[in-house]
Amino acid sequence: MSQETTDNAKPDQRSADQSTKSQNAFKHVAIIGLGLIGGSIASALRQQGSHLIAFDVVAQNLADGLRQGVIDEAADSVEAACENAALIVLAVPVLQMPALFQRLKKLDGIQGKVITDVGSVKGRMLESLLLDGPLLTNFVPGHPIAGSEKHGVMNSDPNLFAQHKVILTPHAETDTAATISVAEMWRSIGAEVSEMSPTKHDLILAQTSHLPHLLAYALIDSLSDRGDSFEIFDYAAGGLRDFSRIAASDPTMWRDIFSSNKEALLDVLDRYVAELAELRNMIETDDQKSVHGILDRAKSARDHFSQVLKDRHKK
């Protein structure tokens, strides 16, 4: 088994041709965990003609999914949901993956089904799964770089992944055909697919997602702890609103992410704290030249980032 794809690029450089959509080959799909991401995947695939069956430990999520037309069927167990599925999508918090994976391994015919996940941490998750034996060769770890501060199946959006990146991190024994089929599924709903190692994925996400969420939660918690917090929020301008938006995300999910990727997160957090201390010292000593230099470099970097996003959405 190999994690090489059909092109000749290196694993950390492979990406999809974004000019056309691929065709989703999965006619029967099981979603385990019917929240925003699981529901949005279900909604997108159902629009393409796939039959969607889901299981969630919260019965109301399944009822909402049926009422909203996100899924076709609600199962009463993981096993029932996966029985006839060609593709199984695990959309649960990362710390729940080991127990769920053990249940999947016991299913008859599991090697004939393709399995993927949507978790924001890969390295620690794969290590945890390996503690209970070899990984299934049909398991393709994945992570869509898309989401919202809103959560729950009621906020499902079939267009959530359009023009957003999805990172696949196949393990050493992942079957090539399984990887290709999962990549095609994501492309079929408008995503741009790339592959990289689990370690690189976790380092990148620690910087681009996990740290910003941590800072947003910490800032809002700090401001809300003040006696005049209501007045502060009443007069808050767009900057606080825009930055703090992500602090409305699911606390359980982000608690698990911070714990699962703590090494990479602490590394980038320590660097940020050190640089913040330097900036504090510049302000205290009225070193306006150095402060301006930081602000100017940050503005240039943000302008470049904005242009990249604009160019991407023009495609």
Q: What is the pTM of this model?
A: 0.85
Query: CB pairs under 8 A, 24+ apart, for 242-249?
Result: 243/216, 243/219, 244/216, 244/219, 244/220, 245/149, 245/216, 246/149, 246/212, 246/213, 246/216, 247/149, 247/213, 247/216, 247/217, 247/219, 247/220, 248/149, 248/150, 249/147, 249/149, 249/151, 249/213
Task: Give backbone dihedrals phi and psi of 276, rounded to 5 degrees, phi first.
Answer: -65, -40
Please give the structure tokens belonging to residue 60. Answer: 């109301």
Query: 28-195 and 201-284: same fold?
Result: no
Which CATH number, 3.40.50.620, 1.20.200.10, 3.30.1490.190, 3.40.50.720, labels domain 28-195? 3.40.50.720
Give me the pLDDT at residue 21, please.
60
Give me the pLDDT at residue 227, please.
59
Give me the pLDDT at residue 249, please.
85
**Torsional sign, CA 204, 209, 215, 218:** negative
Give the tens place of pLDDT for each residue, 39-91.
999 999 999 999 999 999 999 999 999 999 999 999 999 999 999 999 999 99
Average pLDDT, the chain: 89
Give me the pLDDT at residue 37, please.
95
- Which position has the token pair 């009463």? 76
Give me the pLDDT at residue 124, please.
94
Give the tens place of pLDDT for each residue, 218-229.
998 888 876 556
Give CATH superfamily name and number for 201-284.
6-phosphogluconate dehydrogenase C-terminal like domain (1.10.3660.10)
- CA Rg value for the chain: 21
The DSSP element (H or E) to which 116 belongs, if any, is strand 114-117
Q: Where are the alpha helices (DSSP H) in 51-197?
A: 59-67, 78-82, 97-105, 123-130, 176-188
**Domain-by-domain residue ranges, the chain?**
28-195, 201-284
Q: Which regions in the chain score pLDDT beneath 70? A: 1-22, 226-230, 312-315
Please give the structure tokens belonging to residue 5. Answer: 């794809």
Give me the pLDDT at residue 248, please.
87
Pairing outcome for strands 192-195 and 28-32:
unpaired
Give me the pLDDT at residue 15, please.
42
